[in-house]
């Protein structure tokens, strides 16, 4: 027999499905726009009308480019959690703490479904919220939290439910992908392209969450939890962003037959789970290598299926709001799933793999003084750490001046590579920290 708690909220298909929207920024306004424009279509797909009952936002007077008449304006978003005329609260405020977190907890506690686009909240508090949703017999839905309009949450929780997941790879931040693409296409440096991305609205005024990999890591944390049936554990993630990548890296990666991508990797390794977010080199013609500009892409390998690459714009009003409304439709038609695909009580504490023990090939960029013996010194360090050189490039002569030396390696232990870089950095000829990136032959 089904758990009676999960029967709570089963819908009466003769009545409207009533929602409250907390947050009327880009995504919240987009949700209103879709529901108003496509009301008849949504009713057919949900089997009942979807009705916006109430909205909440900081600034009531701001023009959001959408008609908000006819909705009850709630001064405090948290009041939505206790309203009897709301079936689901749509949280598009954002942030892992504060108003958004309080609203989601209170809504679940009061037996209301929640739809959110809040990846940070789920990465940091997902297990707690999933437990609460299960206890109260309601749903926590969040398709829009990962990869915008790409339906990867539905694919993992439903389409791939028959599979034990082996690996998940993803380009999960459109800002970083845009910057790396533009650097490659124009030959310009990171700082110039970042300013352009900010001017175009692809990057925030404070871009740290994007370019330091935090935003993408939140998303990977969620995907790993669903894919491997483990509690989301953001603190277990190894995260590196793209600040250190320069035009030299882009050019030499291309010469070696690769593209540089900020790549999220979650895969099984010898009974453990590796979870890292870092820039990697991937083959130019690989499915990940051809994903450019602001697009996201996710690849999933199961024990019985390999998904074709799921790709699309990872942000923006249309794609993100579309995913929010897709979750609302599922709830309206009575579709109920645990937050991470299995009951929260069955989520395990992951045994995380030590990245230092993983085996990879590497790209290594050095800036060294052009003088006799440098290559011999570097090669000796690599030899002593059991690192085999696959390729080496140094062009031109600039006696006494810094020059780039690019090395690619055969597969080697990550910890050995890091120790070698520490030793190389201490050489008198080395003028800056060595830059190293994994090569992923996807």
Distance CA 83, CA 78 (A): 10
Q: What pLDDT sits at residue 9?
A: 44
Terminal-to-terminal C-alpha distance of the chain = 44
In a domain, 353, yes or no: no
**Catalytic residue check, 219:** yes
Q: Where are the alpha helices (H) located in 202-291, listed in sequence order?
A: 208-211, 214-228, 247-255
pTM for the model: 0.93
Q: What pLDDT sits at residue 64?
A: 87
Q: From first to last of the 442 residues of the chain, give the pLDDT tens digit.
A: 334 444 344 556 779 999 999 999 999 999 999 999 999 999 999 999 999 999 999 888 888 888 888 899 998 999 999 999 999 999 999 999 999 999 999 999 999 999 999 999 999 999 999 999 999 999 999 999 999 889 999 999 999 999 999 999 999 999 999 999 999 999 999 999 999 988 888 888 899 999 999 999 999 999 999 999 999 999 999 999 999 999 999 999 999 999 999 999 999 998 999 999 999 999 999 999 999 999 999 999 999 998 879 999 887 888 999 999 999 999 999 999 999 999 999 999 999 999 999 999 999 999 999 999 999 999 999 999 999 999 999 887 788 899 999 999 999 999 999 999 999 999 999 999 999 999 999 8
204 and 257 share a domain?
Answer: yes
Exposure on the CB side of residue 263, measured as CA atoms within 13 A: 25
CATH number of the structural domain spanning residue 57: 3.40.50.720
Distance CA 320, CA 342 (A): 25
| Residue 200 contacts residue 294 (beta carbons within 8 Å) | no
CATH number of the structural domain spanning residue 192: 3.30.360.10
157 and 301 share a domain?
Answer: yes
Give how many domains the chain has, as a whole number: 3
In a domain, 351, yes or no: no
In a domain, 130, yes or no: yes
Among 112, 119, 136, 219, the active-site one is 219
In a domain, 393, yes or no: yes
Q: What pLDDT sits at residue 399?
A: 87
Residue span of the structural domain in which 428 resides: 358-439
CATH number of the structural domain spanning residue 376: 3.30.70.260
């Amino acid at each position: 027999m089904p758990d009676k708690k999960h029967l709570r909220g089963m819908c009466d298909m003769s009545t409207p499905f009533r929602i409250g929207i907390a947050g009327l920024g880009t995504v919240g306004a987009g949700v209103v726009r879709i529901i108003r424009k496509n009301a008849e279509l949504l009713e057919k797909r949900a089997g009942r009308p979807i009705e916006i009952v109430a909205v909440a936002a900081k600034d009531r007077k701001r023009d959001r480019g959408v008609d908000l008449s006819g909705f009850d304006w709630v001064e405090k978003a948290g009041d939505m959690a206790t309203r009897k005329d709301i079936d689901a609260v749509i949280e598009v405020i954002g942030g892992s703490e504060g108003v958004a977190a309080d609203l989601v907890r209170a809504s679940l506690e009061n037996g209301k479904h929640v739809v959110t686009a809040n990846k940070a909240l789920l990465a940091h508090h997902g297990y707690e919220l999933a437990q609460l949703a299960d206890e109260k017999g309601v749903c926590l839905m969040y398709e829009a939290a990962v990869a915008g309009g790409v339906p990867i949450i539905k694919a993992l929780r439903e389409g791939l439910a028959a599979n034990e997941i082996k690996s998940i790879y993803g380009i999960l931040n459109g800002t970083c992908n845009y910057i790396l693409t533009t650097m490659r296409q124009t030959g310009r440096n990171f700082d110039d392209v970042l300013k352009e991305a900010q001017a175009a609205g692809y990057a925030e005024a404070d871009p740290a969450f994007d370019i330091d990999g935090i935003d993408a890591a939140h998303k990977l944390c969620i995907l790993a939890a669903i894919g491997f049936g483990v509690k989301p554990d953001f603190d277990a993630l190894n995260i590196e962003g793209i600040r250190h990548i320069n035009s030299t890296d882009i050019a030499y990666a291309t010469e070696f037959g690769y593209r540089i991508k900020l790549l999220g990797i979650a895969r099984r390794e010898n009974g453990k789970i590796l979870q890292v977010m870092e820039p990697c080199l991937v083959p130019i013609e690989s499915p990940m290598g051809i994903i450019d500009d602001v697009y996201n892409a996710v690849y999933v390998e199961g024990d019985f299926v390999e998904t074709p690459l799921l790709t699309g714009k990872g942000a923006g009003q249309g794609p993100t709001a579309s995913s929010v409304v897709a979750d609302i439709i599922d709830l309206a038609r009575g579709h109920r799933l645990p937050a991470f695909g299995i009951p929260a009580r069955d989520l395990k504490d992951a045994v995380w793999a030590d990245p230092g023990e993983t085996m990879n090939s590497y790209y290594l960029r050095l800036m060294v003084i052009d003088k006799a013996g440098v290559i011999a010194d570097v090669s000796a360090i690599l030899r002593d750490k059991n690192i085999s050189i696959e390729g080496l490039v140094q062009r031109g002569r600039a006696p006494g001046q810094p020059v780039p030396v690019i090395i690619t390696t055969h597969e080697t232990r990550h910890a050995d590579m890091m120790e070698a870089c520490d030793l190389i950095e201490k050489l008198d000829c080395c003028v800056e920290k060595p830059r190293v990136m994994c090569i992923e032959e996807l």
